[in-house]
A and B are shown apart, each in its own frame.
Chain A
Amino acid sequence: MSKNNSEYLINRKDNQYEVVIGLEVHAQVLSESKLFSASATKFGAEPNTQVSLVDAAFPGMLPVINEFCVKQAIKTGIGLNAKINKRSVFDRKNYFYADLPQGYQISQFKDPIVGEGKVILDMPDGQKEVGIERLHLEQDAGKSIHDLDPQNTFVDLNRSGVALMEIVSKPDLRSPDEVSAYIKKLRSIMRYLGTCDGNMQEGSLRADVNVSVRAKGSKEFGTRCEIKNVNSIKFMQMAIQYEANRQVDLIEEGKSIDQETRLFDTKKNETRSMRSKEDAHDYRYFPDPDLLPLKVSDEFINQLKSDIPELPDDKKKRFIDEFKLSPYEATILVSDIETAKYFEEVVAKMGKNKDMKLAVNWITGELFAVLNNKNLEISQSPVSAKNLAILVNLIKNGTISGKIAKTVFELMLDGDKDPQKIVEEKGLKQQSDPKAIEVLIDKIINDNREKAIEYKSGKEKLFGFFVGQAMKASGGKANPQLINEILKKKLQ
């Protein structure tokens, strides 16, 4: 394996292989109730407590589409710069399983609600566009629990009928890193839109990963394998690495790749065959006669368009234009909607004379470190945006030094204290009176005559020693710039 100019290639002897990846992401629609019933969708409820007669497929029960889920899907489509189909059709995907009460899943096959779109990824070597093939709405199945009893399988239907968006990408991804960036970008967009919480631990976001390999430079696609239901970015990357190498090894051995569905074993870090193309289900798709084609008007779509918040790509552009942030800084700040909100609040609270760079450094530096250590989301930050803005302003206007600010910040963590008050109470205000600093420096030079002479005779390194002594003597409060200026003058 080698990375040349961040290109992900698999090397074998004289051959180089490119990896082609397409994802089918299943994103749970953020909605109080299910796609075709009024049952609740709360995660972690007691088994079978969120099941209606429709979800359990009782005789004579009929699905009725949840308009809110339709709106969520369209909003997501808009966020993916995709074509919204004014007419879409729900189909039945027929197969038998114990946790599929109807004996079919209601999905969209030929006519999805959202058509082609695109997503922009920010990669270290620039931007990359990934095509979206389609987005369709479908029902989730229930859950079979096999490990509660040696003989029996238990079925929990709480998830049965929950709305999912299946987002199918074009085979545009070329590396595990791009896959990671793609998933993060999708999640970011959906969180901005409030259409999916993106919580991978709870299964709100999972993906089927299609992997194939081909000789570098080839235009033909290789035979692909589909790795089913991978539920973390790390596992997706591991699965792709394993699968791509497996396929390359087969080609190198002169063997062919079977088109098949595979499972990723997270413990053994390998993919295993689940079923071959020959064993593939015949789902007997046909339009669900219980549901009419879903038709939405231009007004309906336009209303939703007008409700779309500023999305990460636009926000990033604005941060760069308006706040003069670097693309790198802007990318970090917009990737998560809560971070962006926090940053914008800090900016607002800093007032007129603001130091954007300083604010960004404090958020991405000190604040992120604390959040990381304490395993907190930025929405749970122990320091409010308002108080962080005050702190940044105190540094900017010279009231405290950056070094003192770190001490103040530590104290702020306990109960979101006002930094202004901390500075006053602890007497941490910066010493900026040149006369007082001069007195202080005179004493230090007097006490260290020999070193002063050494410095003057060319040992310039000793300047740092004097600065340190002066800082120490002032209890860290002296204005470092003034110390520098006065020291230079005195030691001439």
Chain B
Amino acid sequence: MSDITKQSLTELVENIKDKKLSSTDVTKAFIERSEKSKELNAYITDDFTSALEKAKKFDQKPNLDLKLPGVPMAVKDLFCTKDIKTTAGSKILNNFVPTYESTVTDNIWKEGAILLGKLNCDEFAMGSSNETSFFGNVQNPIDKNLVPGGSSGGSASAVAGQLTPITIGTDTGGSIRQPASFTGTVGLKPTYGSCSRYGIVAFASSLDQAGPMAQTVKDCALLQEIISSYDPKDSTSIDFKRNQYSKELTNNIKGKKIGIPKEYRVDGMPKEIEDLWQKGIQYVKDCGAETIDISLPHTNYALPAYYIVAPAEASSNLARYDGVKYGFRAKGENLIDMYEKTRSEGFGAEVQRRIMIGTYVLSSGYYDAYYLKAQRVRKLIKNDFDEAYKKVDAILTPSTPSSAFKIGEKTNDPVSMYLNDIFTVPVNLAGLPGISIPAGHDSKGYPLGLQIIGKAFDEQNILNIAYAMEEKIDFKNNITDWWIK
């Protein structure tokens, strides 16, 4: 079956349940395609040999009641996986093999999925192009030398390039939605507290959230219902009633009120993005929903606030990588010298930049002016959304201010790189769920995404809207397999 890798997760699960495909068939197909796709550099670590063994074992005694029966899956290398090297895209964890499993991946394996390998990402998830990874750039399957976005660049590339039927990423400021938008795939950032952070290498604890990345909205819904669980091991995990998102998925969104925030019409935004947005507005109207112009007045302050809060938390979260206990250690004359050499050699430039920013904004004398003020801004941004949700059920925006850019195009201009997150960052600051769906192409034929932002814990609603829009948009990703010789 040559088209196995073209099937959606939902189709694969059906075919395995109907015994039309075995886990071995499917696993083999994705391994073969992954082997042929080395040029994408989507994997940091593969686990193909044991994946195939697990698939064979599964087929001997298949449990078809599971939600992901024998389905192979690669995951972002930010999730700790027991006995499998976990690097977070960094030299400093290049030799780190956890003895434990993250809650999110554990939930996945419990439903029968099989680990294919660990996917490339920006170092400690800090980046919007996957170019900060110690393990090199990731190619976007859409076109050669195009970034896949970041930080979940390897994940986006692997899903779009059909190296894995589905995957999980993490999203701190847009790290799922932006790469999904750049690669013509679907990416959901759940409500903060929906997915446990236990066992995920931390970037910014108050913003980090794991989420699914898939070819279709339905696949996304299915994985979300698996990974989302209340976890007492994460004090910020929230105990709320979780839906069977895929089962309850409906394209009936008649009468839903969709907010269109005027502040997202930013200066210098390409006309293509504006046109896409208008198309999106038309789609939701065609589905029977109503659009309402709203205001989120503090949107402009989201990006600067984010680039204070996230580096502040990161500077502290990354203090544990000191060469003492695990990971890379450089030789030093004494303890301080060892620290300095280990962290100078172990962390890349972008991570060092953010540690410096974070350390600065938390320093005495600057704390009030930066960190405290940023936290106040964060509160105002949340209030904006709360106010808006008195009038609307969800909000529709572009996912990114542009389509994917060339590798190397923005590496020397961190601020222009940071601007990529302008539409996604407010969602993280407010702890809300947001989904990016592919909605069209730009003049170069590169995919463009639209973002639907929901109320907290209302993943079902934005999945439904995305599902209805997906049907109307009928997006086709233009994958030419250019990298396969």
Contacts and interface: CB of A to CB of B under 8 A. Distances in A.
Q: Do the two chains belong together in a single complex? A: yes
Interface of A: 53, 56-65, 92, 94, 96-98, 101-104, 153, 155, 282, 284-286, 289-292
Point out which of B100, B324, B363 has the most chain A C-beta atoms below 10 A from its C-beta.
Answer: B324
Contacts of A103: 316, 318-320, 322
Interface in B184-210: 197-202, 204-206
A58 B205 CA distance: 15
A54 to B, nearest CB: 9
A59 B320 contact: yes
A62 B204 contact: no
Interface string B55-97: 0000000000000000000000000100000101000010010
27 contacts: A58-B98, A59-B80, A59-B86, A60-B198, A60-B200, A60-B201, A60-B202, A62-B234, A63-B235, A64-B232, A64-B233, A64-B234, A94-B316, A96-B319, A97-B335, A98-B322, A101-B325, A102-B319, A103-B319, A284-B362, A284-B364, A285-B362, A286-B312, A286-B362, A289-B204, A289-B206, A289-B236
Nearest to A103: B319
Contacts of B482: none
Contacts of B320: 57, 59, 101-103
A57 B319 CA distance: 10
A89 to B, nearest CB: 12
Nearest to B200: A60
B283 interface: no
Point out which of B320, B363, B367 has the most chain A C-beta atoms below 10 A from its C-beta.
Answer: B320
A59 B335 contact: no
Given A59-B201, A60-B201, A62-B198, A104 B319 contact: yes
Contact of A98 (B206, B235, B324, B362): B324
Contacts of A284: 315-316, 359, 362-364, 367
A62 B100 contact: no
B80 A292 contact: no
Contacts of B235: 62-65, 290-292
B207 to A, nearest CB: 8
Contacts of B371: 286
Interface in B231-256: 232-236
Nearest to B309: A289
A94 B316 CA distance: 7
B102 interface: yes
A92 B202 contact: no
A174 to B, nearest CB: 32
A274 to B, nearest CB: 16
A286 B201 contact: no
A256 to B, nearest CB: 24
A429 to B, nearest CB: 69
Interface in B417-448: none
B230 to A, nearest CB: 13
B324 A101 contact: yes
A56 B198 CA distance: 15
B431 to A, nearest CB: 12
A50 B80 CA distance: 23
A61 B102 CA distance: 9
B335 A153 contact: yes
Contact of A292 (B236, B325, B335): B236
Contacts of A64: 232-235
Nearest to B86: A59
Contacts of B313: 289
B154 to A, nearest CB: 18
A53 B232 CA distance: 16
B212 to A, nearest CB: 19
Point out which of B198, B315, B318, B325 has the most chain A C-beta atoms below 10 A from its C-beta.
Answer: B325
Interface string B126-141: 0000000000000000
A96 B316 CA distance: 10
A96 B234 CA distance: 25
A181 B315 CA distance: 43
A353 B315 CA distance: 72
A155 B324 contact: yes
A282 B325 contact: no
A92 B80 CA distance: 24
Given A101-B320, A284-B362, A286-B316, 4 more contacts: A59-B98, A94-B316, A98-B324, A291-B236
Contacts of A62: 197-198, 233-235
Contacts of B312: 286
A128 B100 CA distance: 55
A63 B233 CA distance: 8
Nearest to B336: A96
Contact of B364 (A102, A155, A282): A282
CB-based closest 8 A-B pairs: A103-B319, A284-B362, A289-B205, A289-B206, A60-B199, A57-B320, A59-B201, A60-B80
B115 to A, nearest CB: 16
B5 to A, nearest CB: 30
B316 A92 contact: yes
Contacts of B362: 94, 284-286
A284 B355 CA distance: 13
Interface string B326-354: 10000000010001000000000000000
Contact of B100 (A58, A65, A98): A58
A309 B198 CA distance: 40
A286 B206 contact: no
A75 to B, nearest CB: 23
Nearest to B371: A286
Nearest to B79: A60
Nearest to A59: B201
Contacts of B335: 97-98, 153
Interface in B283-337: 312-313, 315-316, 318-320, 322, 324-326, 335
Contacts of A94: 315-316, 319, 362
Contact of B325 (A56, A153, A286, A290): A56
Nearest to A63: B235
Interface in B154-173: none
Contacts of A65: 235
Contacts of B199: 60-61
Contacts of B204: 289
B44 to A, nearest CB: 15
Given A60-B197, A62-B197, A92-B316, A286 B367 contact: yes
A323 to B, nearest CB: 50
